[in-house]
Amino acid sequence: MSDRMLKNRLYEQFARVGGALASPARLELLDVLAQGERSVEVLAERASLSVANGSRHLQVLREAGLVESRKQGLRVYYRLAEPGVYDLLQSVRALAERRLAEVDRIVSAYVGHRDELEPVSRHELLERARSGRVVVLDVRPAEEFEAGHVPGAVSIPIDELEERLGELPRSKEVVAYCRGPYCVWSHRAVETLRAAGRNARRLVDGFPEWSAEGHPVEIREDEEVKR
């Protein structure tokens, strides 16, 4: 086999990964899976897809080696194949932010300029949480919190926040986080808390970035792991 043929075959394999990413739906599915393992049904619902269509997209991702699956009873569950998959997703996102002006326009329209104060960095949150100076608030759905969260975080899904404000101490600043930099729930949480007279800020991004940077992750109240 000639060098040219070998090189062609090599780049064909690289293209399998690139081709798997060339779909907004599949990128969103990877983003959802960054929160933890999910069933096909849940993934489809989160990405606004039919179960059949979601399953087809997941099969493409699996064939490209980006996700893995397991079967439990009648359900099929998917997870990211390795941490490097999320690193790849972050790299694509960061490159698009730098090179495509439309990304900034879309983000501004979607998220808006809602912060009167600077968002809290991951390092700052780690230090302040360890010292007990802040309450860390996870506003994702409960099942995502249970799959992994910032140690010591309080779980109050965003739709329940107004009714459960009394569970948060008034004497401490609250730092809210959700799924990532494009998730509006943490913005909504800060708006709700400030409207109620609370001192609140948001994490600069979300749980996947926290975990990917190697910060401690709590799975259960009595079990903490370091990734």
Are 205 and 180 contacting, i.e. CB atoms less than 8 angstroms apart? Answer: yes
Which CB contacts under 8 angstroms, 24+ apart, belong to 76-85?
76/39, 76/40, 77/37, 77/38, 77/39, 77/40, 78/33, 78/37, 78/38, 78/39, 78/40, 78/43, 79/33, 79/36, 79/37, 79/38, 80/30, 80/33, 80/34, 83/212, 83/227, 85/30
Residue whose entry in the numeric block shows the structure tokens 């997870």: 79
CA-based nearest residue to 85, from 217, 225, 211: 211
> Which run of H or of E encompasses 88?
helix 83-99
Are 203 and 119 contacting, i.e. CB atoms less than 8 angstroms apart? Answer: yes
- Annotated catalytic residue: which of 49, 85, 178, 212? 178
Are 162 and 144 contacting, i.e. CB atoms less than 8 angstroms apart? Answer: no
Between helix 83-99 and helix 101-110 the angle, nearest 10°, is 100
**178 catalytic per annotation:** yes
Are 134 and 128 contacting, i.e. CB atoms less than 8 angstroms apart? Answer: yes
Catalytic residue positions?
178
